[in-house]
Structure 1
Amino acid sequence: MTSKVPIEATMSAYGDLSTDRRSYRPLDKVTVQITGRYRGDQYCQIRVCDAQLQPYYEAKIELLDNRGEVSFHAAGALGVHWIYLYFPDSDRHSRYTNFLVDCETSIETGNPDYDELYPITKEALQLGRRDFTTPNGRFVGYISGDTWQIDGVWLRDWIYQLQAYCWWERQMTCGLDRFLEAQNPDGSIPDGIRRDGSTWRMAVESDVEYILVLGVYETWKVTGDDRWLERALPHLEKALKYVQNDPRRWDQEHQLVKRGHTCDTWDFEIQESSEFVGQRAVIANCDQSGYYLAYRAMAEMFRHLGHSQRANEFDRRAKDYRRRANDLLWDGTKYLHHVHLTPIEHPGFDESQQLAMGNVWAITRGLADHSQAVSIINEYRRRHQQTGDAFPWWSLQPGYPDELGYYDGPYCRQGGYANGGLMPWVGGELCRGCFEHGMEKYGLELYRQYIEHLRRTGNRVHVWYWPDGQPGFRTTNEVPYTGWGMAQWLEALIEGIAGLKDISGQMKTMEVAPRWAVTSEQEVRVTVRYAVNDCYFSYRMKIDEKTKTIWLQYAGSGDSVLFRVLLPQNWSPQSIRVKGKPVEFEQRRIEKSLYVEFFGSIERLEEVEIACS
């Protein structure tokens, strides 16, 4: 027969604690049940630490009948969190327990127009994900929605999906490594890579090199891999130097990039040739915004790595490049489609009146200042009302008339494909630009048009549409899940409406500019998270119309937040409190919209109260 169990060797001597669940998301309420020791305790303490063992919650709990309960909100670094239980007579914890904090990108409003776009987009783009082994190693990328290169990946179409796949993709760099390895001795970059490792390049294009820069830059901001960036930068410098040294790519007179006479950023010339025909050359607005942004990205990357002199050089280059491009291409209302460098006649057609798709990039890439951006947005709205076309998503408006005989393929008749077809990516960029420039109501109108399109078509998105809204076809490889198109609309939601932008990389500094005030939503919860690491940011927001108060609760893996909160119409800010303490703020008027701007830290669960009259 065993001896009596000593109570000092049982749970009763140590107390107990448990959580109501084992896993949570940031901002979730965690409820802890506590049982005191057998001797009886009047109170206890708990300390909660995140996965990096940083404390973010402490509390003293009164015990009644030797039991207590406390609740807090999960915050801090993702992973396994710790709750330590202390009693008054010891500095050492008596018990501990763990719970898991994890999350993925999501938007929760109770309205499927917002809540369902991320899962719809993720599911669709994953159908175009390609993972194959080339002779040089693994390649993971995303396809074009209509390419003849069915067994390869275009750099362009792939990188223009990065703003969506960054939230779920874990293989962020291997595909870019293959492109860096494929760089030619002169510095030029291929357009695409096939499964067997072979490459191709459309000669009339001059954008590939800046796209590689932007691809490396945006990928580095997600991964934070400085060693990878160090290895990539010499390739990027060589690529940009190539563009300035190749007489087919660089115009010495204007000191700007040139290309063949293509339809804006597309890859074929008049007569649908991918080669230079008759040595026709133009300076197109699409390339100028891209190289301006690439120079800014180079400056940021060099500065981060401690190369301040090189960073300053690229800052100057970007500033000068932007000035030269604006001087040449801005016509007072919009950016010209392009400027001819060699004589080209378009009998009976005024090419200067074309609204080219590159105009939306000029807005979102920063080539346009605020007044220019508003002018362009208003021109899109005016032409949409004037034409009655299904959407203001034109590649060109108008396209080149059929009478000019430029294109033989039926898909390139006026209003088709890159000659005036409607392209979803154009609409997505335009929508995001509206939110950035005080045109939130029009941006929301555009967003709702896209959501209605998804609802009507069963979430099918093609590369292009005829002006009446019919899907356009030109190859046997057309698929209704076009990533370069769907990604831009997701970005319009996440950056535009939800207002989340990673300023520094790895979400160390976030811009939080929620624009829910333009919608009818009054309670929202938004989370963004990079799947390749544990970087995340999450907020809850409540707009109380009765008290004219906005409440924000937020947490994240980073350090600081720049808030730019859109106020409901006719509200005037009176005070802002962060963690219960008043903070200084500025009012910023953008067109007819009023924002309040202030700073916040990310240390634990943080709360903001914006009181208005």
Structure 2
Amino acid sequence: MRVIHHRREILVYLNGKRYLYLGNIKLEGKKVGLRVGDGKSAFSSFSIRPLNLEKEYELNGEKLRVEVPLLVQPLESFKIKIRHRGEKPLNFILCDANGFEYLRGTLRKGINDLNIRAFGALGTHKLKIKDKRGKVIEVPFEVDANSQIETESGLWDQLFSNLRETIKKDRFLFTIDGKTVAMNPSWLRDHIHEMKGYKWWEEDVRSALDHFLKIQHPEGFFYEMIIPPNDPHTTFVDSKYRIIDEKNNLAYVRLEMEADIEYLMG
């Protein structure tokens, strides 16, 4: 697991795949507690502190110091610094998360400053340095795309982040018959409208639509909300327009006065 603090964002990667994203975070005390599910701690804390990105490696007895950013945006320039103390040149290649090679070159004795653009699949990229004997060291770094706004004045820089956080607060995850159903929020109408925004960063944009298609009424109309069984909305309609799912402790309701759900689902 790799935990990266980048600007005002915290990202957690497991085996090269991003599992957690926290945006617009202002750290206090430089520690982050991670809680999941019913609130029990999965990890006691992550200590976030300034990192020395330069690390030392050894290749056939020769010392190398390599400095690579922890997180890189695709197609944007970044720097790799390699201090090579040996006399003989070394070869290097850069590979994307699928192992596809997109750059190769040679390292000379001294400081090698490389201006790079990351290409290929997102995830864990690798800088591979090898000598003529075929010995290789690998230096991983993450390549991930995050939309952002940057202006000279800085006036609008937080606009996208603030809009994204507003939508992310509407995120609900339901476990229904053992499967996760993700909604933004739990009303289908708003879920579809907010999709215009979160489709750019969320990985799951289908589970809710697939679920409502699965439970579509035989007459053709769709239920429009997932709510607790004791929610007052269950009393607003006749039994035809509600489902009480005791197994999953959920209810579905369709308000008869609202007629745009079928249009939106189409």
TM-score scaled by length of structure 2: 0.59
Cα 1:85/1:132, change in 2 over 3 Å: closer
Aligned to 2:84: 35
Q: Name the CA distance, whole Å, in 1 between partners of 2:69 and 2:83.
A: 14
Of 168, 183, 190, which residue of structure 2 is paired with 1:141?
183
- Which of 60, 77, 80 aligns to 2:106? It is 60
- Letter of the 2:263 counterpart: Y
> 1:161 offset after TM fit, Å?
0.5
Superposed CA deviations along residues 486-534 of structure 1, whole A, max 9, x for unmatched, are xxxxxxxxxxxxxxxxxxxxxxxxxxxxxxxxxxxxxxxxxxxxxxxxx
Aligned match of 1:156? 189
CA deviations 1:415-473 (Å, max 9, x no partner) are: xxxxxxxxxxxxxxxxxxxxxxxxxxxxxxxxxxxxxxxxxxxxxxxxxxxxxxxxxxx
The alpha carbon displacement at 1:128 in A equals 2.7
| Structure ranking higher in strand proportion | 2
Residue correspondence of structure 1 range 220-369 to structure 2 within 5 A:
none
**For residues 141 and 69 of structure 2, what CA distance do their matches in structure 1 show?**
8
CA drift at 1:204 = 6.1
Residue type at the aligned position of 2:217? N
What SS does the corresponding residue of 1:96 show, helix, strand or coil? strand
2:58 counterpart of 1:21: no
Indicate how the Cα distance of structure 1 residues 79 and 200 shifts in structure 2: closer, same or farther if over 3 A, else same.
same
Write the distance in 2 (CA, Å) between the matches of 1:20 and 1:81.
Answer: 11
Counterpart CA distance in 2 for 1:112 and 1:173 is: 35
Aligned: 1:97 with 2:139: yes
Q: Deviations over 1:335-356 (max 9, x none)?
A: xxxxxxxxxxxxxxxxxxxxxx
Q: CA deviation at 1:183?
A: 0.6
1:135 to 1:194, Cα distance in 2 relative to 1, 3 A: farther
Segments of structure 2 that go 5 or more residues without pairing to the other structure are: 1-57, 229-249
Query: Residues of 1 paired with 2:179 and 2:125: CA distance?
Result: 38
Counterpart of 2:25 in structure 1 is none
Alignment partners' CA distance in 2, 1:24 and 1:204: 46
Indicate which of 212, 215, 219 corresponds to 2:265.
212
* CA distance in structure 1 between the partners assigned to 2:210 and 2:202 by the alignment: 16
Q: Relative contact order: is structure 1 or structure 2 higher (C-alpha 8 Å, sep ≥ 6)?
A: 1
How far apart are residue 34 of structure 1 and its match? 3.6
Aligned-pair CA distance for 1:193: 3.5
Counterpart contact for 2:59–2:135, Cα < 8 Å? no
Letter of the 2:78 partner, please give it: K
- C-alpha separation in 1, matches of 2:194 and 2:71: 31
Counterpart in 2 of 1:282? none
Query: In structure 2, how many angstroms separate the alpha carbons of the residues matched to 1:210 and 1:190?
Result: 13
How many Å separate the matches in 1 of 2:262 and 2:224? Answer: 9
Shift in Å, 1:17: 4.8
Which residue of the other structure, out of 157, 161, 166, is the alignment partner of 1:119?
Answer: 161
Separation (CA, whole Å) in 2 of partners of 1:52 and 1:136: 31
Give 1 or 2 for the bigger CA radius of gyration: 1
Within 2, Cα distance between the matches of 1:202 and 1:76? Answer: 49
- Matched residues in 1 for 2:65 and 2:219: separation? 66
For 1:202-222, what per-residue CA distance to the aligned partner results, in whole angstroms no more than 9, with x for missing partners? 3562x3223123xxxxxxxxx
The 3 A distance-change label for structure 1 pair 76 and 34 is farther
Within 1, Cα distance between the matches of 2:258 and 2:90? 73
TM-score (norm 1): 0.28
Going by fraction, where is helix more abundant, 1 or 2?
A: 1
Which residue, out of 203, 206, 211, partners 1:178?
Answer: 211
2:127 counterpart residue number:
83
Aligned match of 1:44: 90
How much does 1:23 deviate?
Answer: 3.1
Q: CA distance change for structure 1 residues 34 and 140 in 2, over 3 Å: closer, same or farther?
A: same
- Once the 2 structures are TM-superposed, how far is the Cα of residue 33 of structure 1 from its aligned partner? 0.8
Distance 1:208 1:25 in 2: 38
Give the secondary-structure state (helix, strand or coil) at the position aligned to 2:209.
helix
Deviations 1:108-136 (A, max 9, x none): 22344542221111222233333345678
What is the CA-CA distance between 1:192 and the residue it aligns to? 3.1
Counterpart CA distance in 1 for 2:199 and 2:150 is 20
Whole-angstrom distance in 2 between the partners of 1:198 and 1:102: 37
State how far apart, in whole Å, the 2-side matches of 1:154 and 1:102 are: 31
Q: Are the counterparts in 2 of residues 14 and 94 from structure 1 also a CA contact under 8 Å? A: no
Tell me by how many angstroms 1:75 deviates: 2.9
Cα pair distance change 1:84/1:17, threshold 3 Å:
farther
**Is residue 241 of structure 2 the alignment partner of residue 198 of structure 1?**
no
Percent identical among aligned pairs is 23
Which residue matches 2:6? none
Q: Deviations over 1:54-90 (max 9, x none)?
A: 11112233x3xx3240312333222221122234x44
Query: Offset of 1:137 from its aligned partner?
Result: 5.8
The count of residues paired between Structure 1 and Structure 2 equals 186
* Residues 134 and 197, structure 1, Cα contact 8 Å, conserved in 2: no
- Could you list the per-position Cα deviations for residues 360-389 of structure 1 after superposition, in whole angstroms to 9, with x for gaps in the alignment? xxxxxxxxxxxxxxxxxxxxxxxxxxxxxx
The alpha carbon displacement at 1:186 in A equals 2.5
